Amino acid sequence: MADRVAVFVDMQNVYGGARRTFYSGVSAHHTDGQIDPLALGNLICSRPPPGLTRTLSEVRVYTGRPESTKEPKTYGAHMRQCEAWERAGAVVIPRPLRYPGDWPDTRAEQKGVDVQLAIDFVAGAIDDRYDVGVMFSTDTDLRPALEFVTDRFERYPRAEVAAWRGSGANRSLRVRGGQRSTWVHFLDWDDYLAIRDRTDYLL
């Protein structure tokens, strides 16, 4: 029987990572770095570790949400992008951006996205909502969630990670030791081209 795969995407981290990895030192359009989360999930499932078969059960996208009254244009683009993800079948989990007192001189920041992703990753393992949970992020704040699932369960559910591969890429969140080391789905330039989303949601 094929393993049920749930992919957990820290979208801002993935977007920024793609830009650092593949567009460093060049003048990049704001759409460069965007990906199609369902295409990502299908790509990951098409290349399982040796001897295993996989089926995509869920793609969960975690993202910061701008405030409509402060950034109406950005908010509109964000909502169009989220709606496109949801139409394709992804589950979108937004968290409101935090605006500092000196905004817009200081940019708004994501807050709570990593915590929500970590909670859902661990809860999904405990509640048997997936056989394989793949976390796509290089945010080290998420490492404890990976370590928990890796060390807590003997065989299933499995914790795996995805990461960009290239000269500017951050290190993956691979967990070594304990019950087992995590499998890493490395994605290179050709993989990025296969899953990128060139839609300009600002238009």
pLDDT in tens, 148-197: 999 888 888 999 999 999 888 888 877 765 556 789 999 999 999 999 99
pLDDT value of position 177: 59
Residue 20 in any domain: the answer is: yes
Residue 167 vs residue 6, higher pLDDT: 6
- How many folded domains does the chain comprise? 1
Residue 203 in any domain: the answer is: no
Residue 200 in any domain: the answer is: no
Q: Mean of the per-residue pLDDT values for the chain?
A: 93
CATH number at residue 133: 3.40.50.1010
Residue 201 in any domain: the answer is: no
Does this model's pTM top 0.75? My answer is yes
In the three-class reduction of DSSP (H, G, I as helix; E, B as strand; rest coil), residue 133 is classed as strand
pLDDT at 74 over 70: yes
Residue type, 200: D
CA distances to 4, 56, 93, 108 from 162, rounded to whole Å, are: 16, 15, 19, 27
Residue 56 in any domain: the answer is: yes
Residue 178 in any domain: the answer is: yes
pLDDT tens per residue, range 107-150: 999 999 999 999 999 999 999 999 999 999 999 999 999 999 99
pLDDT tens per residue, range 13-37: 999 999 999 998 778 899 999 999 9
Determine the structural domain holding residue 183 and report its residue range: 3-195
